[in-house]
Structure 1
């Protein structure tokens, strides 16, 4: 009986490790980003986002070939993800559910964490507003999905990674603990994330509002480094959706 219990316990631990490894795999993270993109594009009329505008402007500069290049890139990404999942025999169903659930859970916790941080620095709570107009539920979800996807692609996947690589090569930081360059990258991109909201919100540079978004960018940066792009994108989207649903008129 004891041997059977030990065997069962080992099997359960192996399965947990297998699911955890799958949920952190970049192939599953790529697949998880697709629903956010589709949801945002399906409600594009309600989702006027600056981060998406940058992507859209880049595609327009490419001319008529942009659509084909985008489709080819998505197809290549899908084939790569499917091939990687098959080669590594990833528990992709459970991994996708676990990563999505984790992202949603962090999104629900983000608001209370930010309020706690503000109280620690003795600043009034200034809720993070979300750009764009979204009256209906579909519009709200489209705006939230687009903000989570494109802002995390821009500020975390692109800028944070680039800043970390740059800081690691600076003369004063070269050869030192990697955590130092990552920490500086999180702080710099959090400040850029907060300041960038001034494009759609004139009050974005006011003290409490700027600090609120700076803290949000910092927490999202740490989450990106710890759990990956899909988790932080779903956390950001969930938080924005909760804020808009809470503040929308009944």
Structure 2
């Protein structure tokens, strides 16, 4: 768990620095920083998706995943529950923060959805090699400073998301390794890229997307490759 602890700790530290930076910025500078973050998030989402597609991604699978995942997420109403969590944290933290949920969701997706989070955690859990998570920590630390300076204190709570998400992969690495194959990680990254792009749309106020309600989509690729694809191959063998 050392790599995960370092990763979460660096995000925590970066967020604290970001809060200090934010307090020293005038409103017009905060807006331009927000626009820069929004554009960067959209670019990261596009690049992540295209990279997965160019490496053999299946377009039909991510479409089906987003549709099915979106239906389930809307039924559970994940977005509303996260907003309620944000309001609860806001009541405890105060300081005039009004976008805690947005900062929390945006940062959590950026830090958790990606190949480095999954592969780094598997390496950490299976072989005790934390190098990839250390490298990810540096990237996440810098990103947390920038995100917090524009989105506020909600970003700091994403350190908990990283701790729980990556920690779970580390702890159950031996059982997850057969499930999280290269194909599964590729498809999860494609879907994650699309979700990150939708966050950019919201940050730039182009279109409000209930991104959190689409989160269950990342669970569809493992189900497809583990259960559905073998069944199809058996039926048509």
Q: Which has the higher contact order (CA 8 A, sep 6+)?
A: 2
Q: TM-score of the superposition, structure 2-length normalised?
A: 0.30
Q: TM-score, normalised by structure 1?
A: 0.29
Name the larger-Rg structure: 1
